[in-house]
């Protein structure tokens, strides 16, 4: 039997221990998770206990059902807390009574934000971060052995970033409007706070991928290659060949236009003798496959691009980088992990992905609705390929 958490963690709230009497107010839970992930107290892990009042006493009628635990786990993947927190949810015992225990690991890429606002826990209360708090968190990120997409590249400067695009598209998508208005920070301070540069002004990999004028000048594989063949194999004539070397926003815009331009639709008889337009491939599935390839690819150890090969009977999307972290080639349909966590957070804020860990399911469901065969996933140690077949 698991040991009582009251004995392990104590009965008073601390910098890394927060009590909530109820889990009904989900936003309060999100703020607490965000604050614990920021780990201002340098504890490495934080604990959120649901079913304990502020006096450290367990309460009655706490929902510890599997259904509720799954709903609370979903707070990790819904994309409102960015970068995505690492946390576990389980039922536990506190002072002899059942409660819910959420354990939150310190983020390796702080500051973590909920709805664009950084929350911290410097003591037994959760509050919005001050400028000094954010500076401390940014310095911690810089000093840590962080994921590749959070590392600064000394070969790059602010001139390599599209600052107009940052102000018009990126900043409003990632930071709450009231925070932008209240802070009054310079563009350089805002870029560093969002992990797009270091404190010396060198763009990070994330900054170059999302806002770079030419990301592949510093990250050789950071581009998308699109080839349209007039046949079913590589020996067929090439109808269209394009390389997209812009930043994430520019590439997504251009890629969307290219994919739509090559989609064919036909009229089919639907219900009540009405004609319906059916595309060869549902655009939702194409978009999901391509955006996931950009998000999950290996930018550090490969100079190969994301490749989209469009044949008459199928589309193959291949990206360098095999399974990462907890993901293996035998569990990738139900387990997710992130090689590029900050890039994933940026793509969520910019609405290029809807939720974390739902890509494969969305692709399969979209293809099924359109009448396409189910996709094939080919995963090995160095690459990931998805094949979509045209409707018959």
Average pLDDT over residues 25-35: 96
Average pLDDT over residues 297-310: 94
In tens, the pLDDT along 168-196 reads 999 988 877 777 766 677 889 889 989 99
Q: Residue 93: how many CA atoms within 13 Å on its side-chain side?
A: 7
What lies within 8 Å, CB to CB, of 357 at 6+ separation is: 77, 336
Reported as a pLDDT band with limits 50, 70 and 90, residue 110 is confident
Closest CA to 259 of 292, 284, 233: 284
The domains located in the chain, with CATH, are 5-127 (3.30.950.30), 147-214 (no CATH), 224-389 (3.30.565.60)
Angular region, 274: left φ>0, alpha ψ -120 to 50, beta rest: beta
Rg for the chain, CA atoms, rounded? 23
Predicted pLDDT of residue 199: 83
Closest CA to 75 of 104, 46, 117, 40: 104
Reported as a pLDDT band with limits 50, 70 and 90, residue 382 is confident
How much is the mean pLDDT over the chain? 90
Of residues 290 and 269, the one with the higher pLDDT is: 290
What lies within 8 Å, CB to CB, of 260 at 6+ separation is: 283
Q: Are 330 and 356 in contact (CB under 8 A)?
A: no
In tens, the pLDDT along 143-175 reads 666 788 999 998 899 999 999 999 999 998 887
Burial of 174 (0-12, 13-18, 19+ CB in 10 A): buried
When mean pLDDT is compared across 65-74, 133-142, 255-264, the lowest value belongs to: 133-142
Residue 224 has pLDDT above 80, yes or no: yes
What lies within 8 Å, CB to CB, of 124 at 6+ separation is: 12, 13, 14, 15, 18
Predicted pLDDT of residue 324: 81
């Amino acid at each position: 039997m698991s040991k009582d958490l009251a004995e392990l963690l104590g009965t008073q709230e601390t910098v890394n221990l927060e009590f909530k009497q109820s889990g009904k107010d989900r936003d309060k839970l999100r703020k607490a998770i965000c604050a614990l992930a920021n780990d201002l107290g340098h504890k490495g892990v934080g604990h959120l206990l649901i079913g304990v009042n502020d006096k450290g006493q367990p309460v009655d009628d706490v929902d510890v059902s599997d259904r509720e635990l799954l709903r609370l786990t979903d707070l990790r993947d819904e994309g409102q807390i960015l970068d995505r927190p690492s946390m576990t949810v389980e039922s536990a015992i506190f002072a002899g009574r059942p409660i819910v225990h959420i354990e939150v690991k310190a983020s390796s890429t702080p500051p973590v934000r909920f709805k664009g606002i950084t929350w911290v826990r410097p003591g037994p209360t959760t509050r919005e971060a001050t400028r000094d708090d954010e500076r401390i968190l940014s310095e911690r990120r810089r000093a840590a052995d962080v994921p590749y997409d959070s590392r600064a590249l000394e070969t790059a400067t602010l001139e390599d970033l599209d600052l107009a695009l940052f102000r018009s598209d990126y900043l409003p998508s990632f930071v709450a409007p009231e925070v932008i208005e209240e802070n009054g920070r310079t563009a350089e301070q805002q870029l560093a706070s969002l992990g797009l540069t270091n404190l010396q002004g060198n763009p990070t990999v994330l900054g170059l991928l999302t806002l770079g004028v030419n990301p592949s000048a510093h990250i050789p594989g950071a581009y998308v290659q699109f080839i349209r063949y007039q046949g079913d194999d590589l020996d067929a004539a090439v109808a269209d060949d394009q390389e997209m070397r812009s930043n994430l926003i520019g590439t997504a815009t251009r890629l969307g236009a290219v994919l739509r331009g090559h989609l064919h639709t036909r009229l089919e008889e639907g219900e009540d003798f009405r004609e319906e337009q059916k595309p060869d491939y549902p655009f939702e599935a194409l978009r999901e496959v391509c955006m996931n390839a950009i998000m999950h690819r290996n930018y550090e150890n490969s100079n190969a691009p994301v490749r989209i090969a469009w044949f008459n009977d199928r589309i193959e999307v291949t990206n360098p980088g095999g399974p990462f972290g907890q993901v293996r080639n035998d569990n990738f349909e139900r387990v997710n992990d992130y090689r590029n966590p900050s890039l994933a957070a940026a793509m969520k804020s910019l609405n290029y992905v809807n939720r974390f860990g739902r890509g494969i399911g969305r692709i399969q469901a979209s293809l099924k609705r359109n009448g396409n065969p189910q996709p094939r996933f080919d995963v090995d140690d160095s690459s990931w390929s998805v094949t979509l077949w045209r409707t018959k």
